[in-house]
Amino acid sequence: MSNDHHSSLLDAVRGQPKQVWITAFAAVIAFMGIGLVDPILLSIAEGLHASPSQVTLLFSSYLGVQVVAMLGTSAAAARFGAKRTVLAGLSLIVLATALCTVAGSIEELVGLRAVWGLGNAFFIATALAVIVGAATGGQAGAILLYEAALGLGLSVGPLLGALLGSISWRGPFLGTAVLMACALVLCAGFLTSDAHERRPRIGVLDPLRALRHGGLLRTSLGSACYTAAFFAVLAWSPFVLEYGAIAIGLIFFGWGVCVAVAGVVLAPRLAARLGERGATIVSVLGYAVLMLLMAVPSKPLLVVAIIVSGLVSGLLNTLFTGTAMSISGAPRPVASAGYNFCRWLGGAAAATLVGHVAAWLGFPQSPYLVAAALCLVAACLLGIRARGTDPHTVPAGAVFVGDSA
């Protein structure tokens, strides 16, 4: 988005119809799911007698299923309509989160998180299209509202997880189930049915075919490397800090606020100054520096670096996707689905391996060193010049299918 599109969040929210607000509310709750379990990882490990490597599977199962499902949800929304796709996703999330509250083993919890990831894929693949289609004031304001919902969900998730998790590790799952059930009822009642609208057909393999474009492939692989580093911070930091649920929740609340501010306000300005690719390279190198700082065995330094990393993550979430949307000639929904497939595959792999990396290399901070190396790889991939100019705006579709962090 250009600076002209970012006049103010107030301009984006004035006079919006009910279905925009309802979808945005549901989006906040959906995005909360990413960081919700962060403050209670230690409590879950203790309560279910699980190892850190087993507990981090709560991220990898959630993301892994979401990654694969993303290839099909765009096709499903094109075939069955946005409302039915949204309701199917919300129903799966309600079911999974409710059952999480009675899970008796880490294996059950990991399986239910996979169902949650499937529901999230159906929902977030469609939510932006609903908001853009129903919003007043143009696409740019609708996307700004969506970005605000994303940031609010990322910041509130850890805080809610901390508050309810201080009572029981089952509390955050119950709270999410209740909130998602409310969103499901509201969406069922107020979203406009689009069952009879004509929609373009999207094949399941179309997103993978889009990755034949060299520029899009390099950008997607670079984003996968960055996202792996992102989840090294999100999934592993609670085990390094060893703080209580409230402290972890407050730290990641500050992190989430930084993600929201940077994604909405700072990313377009940096893109205007350096160009999309240039701004992304600078930001991912900055993230590598933060990863190196996190590898220093100092908990106060780690806390500061986590919060500051939220600013860089906010930049990269928007800039990487903006680069992906502008670099190839594929339709935006198709290019975005292929890009997000690679992106979240990196996150799923990191969440699975982060505990093993610490065990293999023999010290708790080692995943951050691997994350720094991955950021350097991402910068190198982005540094390979493709034909064409480097736009100095982030496209209006910068946050699109599955862009939830």
* CATH code at position 254: 1.20.1250.20
CA-atom Rg of the chain in angstroms: 19
d(CA 201, CA 152): 33
pLDDT digits over 277-303, tens only?
899 999 999 999 999 999 999 999 999
- Calculate mean pLDDT across residues 269-275: 88
**pLDDT per position as a tens digit, 10-21:** 555 566 777 778
Tell me how far the alpha carbon of residue 386 is from its chain's centroid: 27
How far from the centroid of its chain's Cα atoms is residue 395's Cα? 18
- State both tokens at 195: 């069952």
* pLDDT, position 356: 87
Q: Does 63 reside within a domain?
A: yes
Q: 328 pLDDT exceeds 60?
A: yes
Q: What is the pLDDT of residue 400?
A: 40
DSSP-assigned letter for residue 3: G
Whether 398 is covered by a domain: the verdict is no
Distances (CA, A) of 216 to 150, 315, 322, 338, 383: 24, 19, 11, 9, 13
DSSP code of residue 266 = I
Count of structural domains, the chain: 1
Cα three-residue angle 97-103-107, rounded to 5 degrees: 105
97-101, 162-166, 330-334, 345-349: which is most confident = 97-101
pLDDT at 2 over 50: no
Selected residue with higher pLDDT from 276 and 98:
98
What's the pLDDT tens digit per position in 116-157?
A: 999 988 887 677 667 766 666 555 556 667 767 777 887 888
- At residue 337, does pLDDT exceed 70? yes
- Which segment of 190-204, 241-255, 352-366 scores lowest on mean pLDDT? 190-204
- For residue 65, give both structure tokens: 């299923």
Amino acid at 375: C
Q: What is the DSSP string of 268-301?
A: HHHHHHH-HHHHHHHHHHHHHHHHHHHTSS-HHH
The stretch 392-396 carries a mean pLDDT of: 55
Within-domain flag for 301: yes
| Cβ partners under 8 Å of residue 108, min gap 6 | none
Domain assignment present for 396:
no
Question: Is 136 among the domain residues?
Answer: yes
175, containing H or E segment: helix 171-190
Can you give the residue range of the structural domain that contains 19? 3-383
pLDDT greater than 60 at residue 349 = yes
Q: Is residue 402 part of a domain?
A: no
- 392 part of a folded domain: no
Q: What is the pLDDT of residue 217?
A: 92
Q: What is the mean pLDDT of residues 42-60?
A: 87
Residue 167 lies in a domain: yes
Task: Give the pLDDT confidence score for residue 138 in this predicted structure.
Answer: 56
Lowest mean pLDDT segment, chosen from 1-5, 145-149, 308-312, 371-375: 1-5
Write down the mean pLDDT value for the chain.
82
Q: How far apart are CA 13 and CA 327, in angstroms?
A: 30
pLDDT at 348 over 80: yes
Closest among 343, 321, 142 to 225, alpha carbons compared: 343
